[in-house]
Amino acid sequence: MTEAAARTALLRFASAKCCYGTKAAGELVIQELKPLAVYRYRLETFNESRLSEWAFEPVPAGRPRGAAAAPPGTPRLPEPPPFRERTRRLRLPRAALVKECHGCRGHGRSKCSVCHGAGWTRCVTCKGSRRRLKQQKRCQLCSGTGRRRCNTCSGRGSKTCTTCQGEKKLQHFEQLVITWRNNVFEFVSEHQLDFPGELLSRVNGENVFRDENVQVFPIVDFPEPEISLASQRAVAEHRAALAASSRILQQRQTIELIPVTEVRCRHAGKPYVYYVYGLEEEVYARDYPARCCCCCPCALL
């Protein structure tokens, strides 16, 4: 990180804030550029889990009642690309049972939730009084009845059952739910930084280590001891949590070096510190000297 690059990053940062002035960024006297070594360790475990559940669907009127035959065979599902989450539901090749709809009890229609089966609602103009409140004249909207036909059910008091879609019957069947999930463990060695560590999760770094296999082994003897400890903890946690209830298909662990530069400078005789971090050269400046409003949300970023 050069002095020109650090100043350019600060100018870009100030320009993006509605209450930050860019003049101070150009007038700052940079005194020291201190590079810091920050590593990000990430373990990804791609696993597959399966469970069966009961589901139902409406039965068309032309289909015979009773047990319905299921598909003759279960096709084999290809696995999705590694580390991409996905869920598939597959109907099991077993007999399906046709039963009366539990939502409408086989009537095909259910009581309207707006008028509660009455077919009418209170007039919104006269509020059921049959007369306009100010003129004391008969309400023209409801013709003096104090009520209007329910628009939801068109005055019928009931509407088509949303469970069976008016078919009165439901076909119950068992289906297999297959879920592919990518579980991520992330650790950042940010003990020597004086700014929020969650900011580092939003930027990219330079990849210095990558290991991918069906099952990976913990990293040992890394120059940063915290990374080795994090790797051992991550591998143990994922195996304990996932191996018993699912099938681990692939694991990947990486270490990234996130460039962070501590910039010490002075403005109007006062010392200031800001940080330039990530390959995107983002900036964190908590005490930026030219802010027009300390209550603005921009001042908190």
Give yes or no for a contact between 206 and 253, defined as CB atoms under 8 angstroms apart: no
* Structural domain boundaries in the chain: 3-45+180-300
Neighbours of 227 (CB within 10 A): 19
Tokens of 62: 């032309």
Q: Are strands 120-122 and 270-277 parallel, antiparallel or unpaired?
A: unpaired
Q: What is the pLDDT of residues 160-213, one digit of tens each?
A: 898 999 898 999 999 999 999 999 999 998 767 788 888 888 899 999 999 999
Give yes or no for a contact between 229 and 39, defined as CB atoms under 8 angstroms apart: no
Residue 275 sits at φ, ψ, to 5 deg, of -120, 140
Nearest to 9 by CA among 284, 244, 294: 284
The mean pLDDT of the chain is 84
Q: What is the pLDDT of residues 74-125, one digit of tens each?
A: 556 677 889 999 999 988 887 788 999 998 988 899 888 888 888 888 887 7
Residue 11 sits at φ, ψ, to 5 deg, of -65, -40
C-alpha 32: how far from its chain's center? Answer: 41
Give yes or no for a contact between 8 and 16, defined as CB atoms under 8 angstroms apart: no
The pLDDT, as a whole number, for residue 86 is: 93
